[in-house]
Structure 1
Amino acid sequence: MLSPFAVAAEGMSPSANADIAQSNRDLRQQAAALTGANATAKELQRALAMLEKAQRSLTEAGQGVASPWLHLESYNNLLPLAALYSRIGRKEQALAALDQARLVLWYPGALKMLRDDTSFDAIRKEPRFQAMLDASATPERIWRGPASTQPYKVTLTVEERIAGLTQFWAEARHSFVYFDKVPHLEWDKVYMEYLPKVMAAQSTRDYYAVLRQLAPLLKDGHTNIWAPGELNGEFESVPPVRMALVEGRVLVAFVDDAALRQRVHVGDELLAIDGVPVHDYAKQRVYPLVSAGAPQDRDFQTYSVGLLRGRAVDTVQLRLRAADGKERDETLARNAGYQWPEAPQFKMLDNGVAYIRIDHFTDDSGLKAVEAALPRIMRASALVIDMRRNGGGNGAIGLEIMSYLTRKPITGAVSYVRGADAYLRASTGNLVSLQPLAGSAYVVQRAQVYEGPVALLTGPQTYSAGEDFVVSFNAMQRGLTLGEATGGSTGQAINFPLPGGGMARVCAKRDVFPDGREFVGIGVVPQIEVKQTVAGLRGGRDPVLERALVEVRKR
């Protein structure tokens, strides 16, 4: 039996202690194979010896305390140890193992296992066993926000509205890792300024109209507040068109409605919205709602994502100028919602160049597309990977894809979190400690690895785990990057509910290049910068891909 925390702890083992961590994993797996319901006394004793050896390897080296992640490894050992001690009648040792585990971690995921596993029946009524249950339940009790479980209703009480503001403010104060990037933001004053605003909100809709302005003050793409789904029609509806900022002009980039394409054309220039000049409209009505640090991310979220958002019941009037210079007004209904990323696309281009576009890592469809196309990729003269619309997801998928491009260990960003602030503040005064999360390189041996020329296309929409992919690609010096700077936002966010069914997140992990250079709030700049042009968009051309094909053919 393995503890429910094992996967998370093992995934974060520092490279310097990788051998100890791997040895512990191996011993636990071997022990688990011997401890089934029909295990003999001899098998249980063998499993016990393995787990004791694993735990001893941590304590003897003194690493159980010195390394945070090996400290967590001890938790993974102690729970199955307690279960085995209980099964063979060594109650005191079982309870002692739980006492030790309680000093390492309070983990809600252990609750169900502790309650349901019959291995603990011999000690289930002991007060120390109940103390372990209580400790495991504690995180949900102390981290759950006040009124955060209150479902949607038309009007929240003033206490509930204040609770939501307080929760977001407190979560950011405790865990946000980029306060240094907003040096003029007085977070305590922000709270006091927003307090009367949320108290005055007459409805849940009005409350979230105020609250949505709070997260953008922190200028981070992984720190956000979202209104409840019941209010999507108030805030998130858009017409079926997508705009793009090209050479300082706002152009129609895509029309997702066959009938509307007869009236609104790709390349039309947007001059005004509801009678307000488009750039003034963006600054006044959209910028305040955008959570972004890098200028290119702010522009993308403003002009391509948020510009036409609004209430579903309201039409939006656009002043358009066609390519021939003629101006006209178009009134559009907001009848569409968020457009999910498209499926991966693979094709062979001229001169045997393979092309694959991967728009997300939210599932393994991109990995499956690469693996399905691998026979053709292996014969290709060059490979172009288009990540310009990859908004992220699970970074592990990106690493698996990368493993088909190199036989070398794959390294990525170096990460930091805020450390033991409470103890350090108590002992030395106010400070914030940034502690590194050391990680091992990703290594997997593939039977086939593509070793030909590779070009990676990037842009402001290359985000989060998509951006992590670019950082690793650059660190490996695997190929050429072309296009525009990435969105400049990645990390690990703490997600939590707000009163009335809203959601929020606060970025708690800080990432930098392996050499210490920062890219969050800046973006990863490509080796060759190529941007779309007005003429290119209107002519249906892709200057970035065109340049990539020229470059890979040179190689």
Structure 2
Amino acid sequence: MRRSFWLFALLAAVGAMPGAEAQQPTMPTVGVELRGDTMVYRTVRVPDRRHGGLRGRAWAGYSHTPWTAEQKLFALSKFWMEVRRNFAYMDRFGVERWDSLYRAAILPAQQTRNDVEFYRLLEGLCAQLRNEQTFIRHSRNFPQTAVHFDDGWTLRLMDVGGHVLVSEVSRDKAAILPPGSEILTVDGRPVEAKLGEVMPRISASTDRVRRRMAVEEMLLDLVGTPHEVTFRRPDGAEACVRLVNARHAPEADSACVALPGRSWRELHEDFRVTWYPGDVACMKIGSFRPGRVFRAFHDAFPGIRDRARGLIIDLRWNERGSSRMAAEFLSHLTRDTVLYGAVWRTRVYDAALASWGSDATPADTVGNARVKLAYEHYNDAAFSDPVRSEYRFPRNREVLEVPTVILINDATGSAAECFLAIAASQPGMSTVGTATSGCAGTVAMYELLPGLQCGICTREVRFSDGKEFVGLGIAPDIEVEDTPADLLVGRDAALERALGLLGVPAE
């Protein structure tokens, strides 16, 4: 106990040091300890930055201590409780089903042999909710990687038409394992068997996204873990490499070669404008976060407005941001001063109403709104009234109205899907690609233990006409799939189709 006291005192002192960004707002962090039959909670205020950074480092000393069985039970229970109370789609998933999964996990959670095993158990539990906006995260000191390996290897994988391809590799390893090579087995097991092991712990809203993310994490493991990977090169030759998970070396990021247009940096680029014949502009928007993306758009927009006769908006791999920012972008592509977006609602709870509904039966609710409301609160089924997102803009803003095609794929999500919900009512706009990720919503973050957090989707979102897309994805007007052959020659089939719709002849 005395050692724990000094540990907490040391952590508090670290947070007060001048070099620890003391000017940032502080955030309470909870430590958990079992005294006899009593769970004790202790709070230490440590520096925090909204987008990562100091919080994990401030707790670094603590995070080296493995979680105890009692702490694991607390984390599991808190996750169960917060999901039960806040998850927007609990009415569809089922409270009884969630309670049953929790009860089934209690003993296995306490019996996990280490922190990683417990973390993956929580991931598996969370994945059953089938919602990408509900997830488990850690900042513990068990370094894992799916991309970086010993001997200078950097390797990124992607799912293309049911094939697992190498999309990017270290430049000095490309002669051994060139981009476009297909992974055949991992540790002697077929790729599909390996993916079957990974997918059950992936939090995703659709099966397509779950598979994509499982491919990206197929080699995820602790530093020092070896893998024997067999592959088929583009020339048909087969070979095997040994990859050992290693810590990330930043200098390795800039020394890679990739399939044409498929490097991680290109796919996740913040903003880019490319011109095509006929004065067609293609505007790549990597996110709808406030800040540099929006500034880049405003800097480029006058030139686009003055020249463009057609417009392509590339929202592939746009997975983050604000729905308000998405509406702001779209407001410059229509003269409408009021834009209507998605309809949302969230779960609500009133303890007094719940107590009044505790003795009610479904039959009692028929024709009685007050009893029905009380019954819903008691049974965790009460929701706020639906709210239709509405955005107003001045008439004198700069606007470009031209035929517009929007490129989407299964990594188009969150605010980008809100963009599509607004664009659905706009004439002259169409979509090309594959169905989106189906994961719009608002996330509430909760700390389960120091170094262990969860995010929970708290808003149910639909199209303005009530049609659902969360868990399904938004289907394009014209579906265009990538093929391995297209990627090997650098062909972007969806972009080509979009250009064709805008009158640009194929090369």
Alignment TM-score, normalising by the size of structure 2: 0.75
Q: Does 1:196 align with 2:107?
A: yes
Q: Which amino acid is the alignment partner of residue 279 of structure 1?
A: E
- The equivalences for 1:50-449 within 5 A come to 151-182=62-93, 186-233=97-144, 240-255=154-169, 257-284=170-197, 286-303=198-215, 305-335=216-246, 341-378=268-305, 379-408=307-336, 409-420=338-349, 422-429=351-358, 430-431=378-379, 432-439=381-388, 441-445=390-394, 446-449=396-399
d(CA) in 1 for partners of 2:163, 2:95 = 31
Structure 1 residue 161: deviation in Å?
1.6
Question: More deviation in 518-527 or 156-165?
Answer: 156-165
**In structure 2, which of residues 437, 440, 453 is the aligned counterpart of residue 503 of structure 1?**
453
Q: 1:195 to 1:374 in 2, by over 3 A?
A: same
Instruction: Report SS of the residue matched to 1:413.
Output: strand
Check the 8 A contact 1:153/1:500 in 2, yes or no.
Answer: no
Structure 1 residue 456: deviation in Å?
0.6
d(CA) in 2 for partners of 1:291, 1:148 = 30
d(CA) in 1 for partners of 2:349, 2:94 = 22
Check the 8 A contact 1:240/1:334 in 2, yes or no.
Answer: no
Check the 8 A contact 1:391/1:464 in 2, yes or no.
Answer: yes
Structure 1 residue 298: deviation in Å?
1.2
User: CA offsets, 1:264-305, max 9 Å, x none?
Assistant: 222211111121100110012x112101121221122112x3
d(CA) in 1 for partners of 2:294, 2:65 = 43
Check the 8 A contact 1:463/1:487 in 2, yes or no.
Answer: yes
Largest Rg, 1 or 2 = 1
d(CA) in 2 for partners of 1:325, 1:375 = 49
Which protein is richer in strand relative to its size?
A: 2
Instruction: Report SS of the residue matched to 1:325.
Output: coil
Counterpart in the other structure of 1:30: none
Check the 8 A contact 2:123/2:203 in 1, yes or no.
Answer: no
Which protein is richer in helix relative to its size?
A: 1
**In structure 2, which of residues 474, 484, 487 is the aligned counterpart of residue 524 of structure 1?**
474
Name stretches of at least 5 consecutive residues in structure 2 with no aligned partner. 1-26, 31-39, 45-58, 254-263, 359-377
User: CA offsets, 1:180-211, max 9 Å, x none?
Assistant: 44359722222222111221234333332322
- The equivalences for 1:433-472 within 5 A come to 433-439=382-388, 441-445=390-394, 446-472=396-422
CA RMSD after TM alignment: 2.7
d(CA) in 2 for partners of 1:297, 1:287 = 10
User: CA offsets, 1:230-283, max 9 Å, x none?
Assistant: 22337886763222222222222233x221222222221111112110011001
Q: Which amino acid is the alignment partner of residue 182 of structure 1?
A: F
Instruction: Report SS of the residue matched to 1:156.
Output: coil
Q: 1:444 to 1:197 in 2, by over 3 A?
A: same
Counterpart in the other structure of 1:484: 434
d(CA) in 2 for partners of 1:400, 1:375 = 15
| Identity fraction in percent | 28
Q: Which amino acid is the alignment partner of residue 400 of structure 1?
A: E
d(CA) in 2 for partners of 1:413, 1:423 = 31
d(CA) in 1 for partners of 2:189, 2:91 = 35
Counterpart in the other structure of 1:23: none
d(CA) in 2 for partners of 1:542, 1:554 = 14
Q: Which amino acid is the alignment partner of residue 243 of structure 1?
A: L
Question: More deviation in 316-325 or 397-406?
Answer: 316-325
User: CA offsets, 1:335-387, max 9 Å, x none?
Assistant: 46697733311121222111111122334322222212112211111111111
Q: 1:524 to 1:263 in 2, by over 3 A?
A: same
Name stretches of at least 5 consecutive residues in structure 1 with no aligned partner. 1-136
Check the 8 A contact 1:251/1:266 in 2, yes or no.
Answer: yes
Counterpart in the other structure of 2:375: none
d(CA) in 1 for partners of 2:205, 2:130 = 5
Counterpart in the other structure of 1:28: none
Check the 8 A contact 1:155/1:202 in 2, yes or no.
Answer: no
Structure ranking higher on relative contact order (CA contacts 8 Å, 6+ apart): 2
Check the 8 A contact 1:148/1:500 in 2, yes or no.
Answer: no
Structure 1 residue 174: deviation in Å?
0.7
Q: Which amino acid is the alignment partner of residue 210 of structure 2?
A: R
